[in-house]
Structure 1
Amino acid sequence: MPGVDVLVAPDSFGSALSARQAADAIAAGWRRGAPHDDVRTLPMSDGGPGFVEALHASLGGSLEAVTVTGPLGDPVPAVVLRVDDERGPTAYVESAQAIGLPLVPVDRRDPTRTTTRGVGELVAAAVEGGARRVVVGLGGSATNDAGAGALVGLGLADPTGLLGSGGGGIGGLSAPDLAGLVALRERWVRTEIVVATDVDVPLLGLQGASAGFAPQKGASPEQTQQLERALGAFAHAAADVLGAVLRPDLLTGGSTGSRRLLTAAGAGAAGGLGFGLSLVGARLVPGASLVAAATGLDAALRDVDVVVTGEGRFDWQSLHGKVTTSVAERALRHAVPAVVIAGEVLVGRRELSSAGIAAAYAVADAPDEVAAAIADAQGSLERRAERVARTWSR
């Protein structure tokens, strides 16, 4: 009996499995459950962990090792992917390598103190190496400083020491403290900086950088509120400095440009890093879409009967620009059913249907099963994929 053609295109499963490891585990389990099926893998990323790896596999290029400032101020290793294309020398960097949550021990996680400085240093290193265009993947960060630290890494003077001190300190900044921002923007706006964001949330609000994500980075409820206020104060101070540059609104005396940066989809990604980089002229784009285009996802979907995607936790964040929903949207265009396998599934059937997902399966069905699944992440994912294959294969 002929089998079905299956494409396995997952994101990473948190820090437990990279996208490549997850893809291989799902493929191995599927082949056991449906040995007649033709299974191929295409690891994905939304800008978070695995961004450079996924692009390197598809685009080629060379990897350059660099050392930058980590989220706690210690030096950490990272890489710059350099690719020559029709637009000239392009560099790809991954913010998670500089400021990722796994870089901070659990007992030291505090987004009021972690800094994005290393990401600015990564971008600077990419340009110093000859890149005319820099693509920055955002996601999986331990930070919540609205990109203030990254501005220091890009060359902004920090006379008060607050810019690089973490999200808790930037609320004390005023416009005079950011006086060098105009000159910094003039310098960096000459470089094309594209920011590939893992979520499409704004900087502030209930689904913004602080309220939506700071708790999972170690913030208490009180710290989360403190961060929301600090990011708001920093954003308004930056808007005061850049008001003339960002096209002032003569009717309100404010700046339509600054409001646009605050509410832009992806401004809240990586603890507001999307907002901070946009202050120097960076353009925000959905990371999952950028990676999908670079890896040829649409072409791969034309030749399969079903696509399997996944991530560590499928929840409300997944519906805001993550790999799973991006893959499902593209699959729908090709009339290919999209199946999600995730460590946990916390989204209801109505949301699944709205996202174009045919079915979603959890590796761990109950809270007490999560720890066991994490302890044997690869084996657990393989076994779940084996069972799912028997449902979806002929």
Structure 2
Amino acid sequence: MTYLERAALMGLDLDRLRKGETLHAEVVIETLDHFTAIFGHGVNKSARAAFSFDLDTGFEGDAPVTQLLHHTYGNSVGTDAAEALFPMTLSATAGETVTIDSDIHIPASSPPYALVVGTLIFDGGSITVESTQATLSADTLKLVRGGTKSYYLGIIGKAGDPGPEGDTGTSVPGHASDGSSAKPKSPGICDGAGNGKQGSNGAPGGTGGMGGAGGTGLPSWPATITIRAVDPESVGQFVVYTLSGAGGKGGPGGTGGAGQEGGGGGKGCSSGAEGTNGGNGGAGGDGGAGGQGGPGGLPADGMGITINFPKAAVASLTTIPTTVSGGPGGDGGEGGAGGTGGTSGSGGTGHHGGNHGAAGLPGAKGPAGVANPSIGKAAGITINP
């Protein structure tokens, strides 16, 4: 099919295209078969079999979107569930000559994207399609120069979201019990009354909660690329890069709870001219340890890509399918602050007060989370010369 025939398939205005206009349109697709004609063109039998096999082993088979993918790119017929997804809107760009001179990014979960062009020129730009179905077709491809990317066309997934932070460890409010004060045994007599008692030590802070698991990556979605001819003045390789979605990083562990303040020392006996020493303040509670970081998320396997490319120019096509890692473990949570020491008890007549309680130790930093060891497969690429 020429680009005008593909544009007609989407119901675009051919008169405006023949006048040299570039059209950007939201196109409503009414049926599954119509969708397949636009996005599944040029996918051969072996590629369809491989696509359906990968889909059966890696995705929920009964989901409506999975059934749509099976029908469009695989070897299964449509189902009522897939048909129920329609009407569906796609985003289309069409033109007699379209020049890509900047880095175009189609973000994740956009409407399916279709680019149909008479002459497609890359002159300092690239197209990156993230976790979105896409079809790109051009009667003629011309490469002038690359842009900031290492590729002209990127079919990529989206990394999973970071996991949530763990809960903060518990802290005992207030301060620990004060030491009892010394009392005179009879008015004016502190002999034998003893010193003020030491305050109780503060309770330790609780350990921070474990961080949440990183999110699962979103896959690189299927794409069909059809180039009918390559301009002989093109420079370099037409590089198609694909990378699926990495697992998200685990969430950070929760901060440890603060240690409780120590109890105050009891007062020394004070009666008339006699007195005893004040009690020492209790030690502050140690801070709780930080929580462990959350585990890394699962990566996603990429979905199949079909490239229809002229046999005479296939040496100028380079594909870079790349595997992707599971998410790293989250950072360990920070330890909680140690509690302050309890206040010293005042001394009685002629005697000294107690010592201020020692501060609690800060909690230890939590351990890092466990990285996800899984590897997300690169999309299978079928090249039809």
Structure number with greater CO (CA < 8 Å, separation at least 6) is: 1
TM superposition score normalised by structure 1: 0.25
Alignment TM-score, normalising by the size of structure 2:
0.25
Larger radius of gyration: 2
More strand by share: 2
Bigger helix fraction: 1
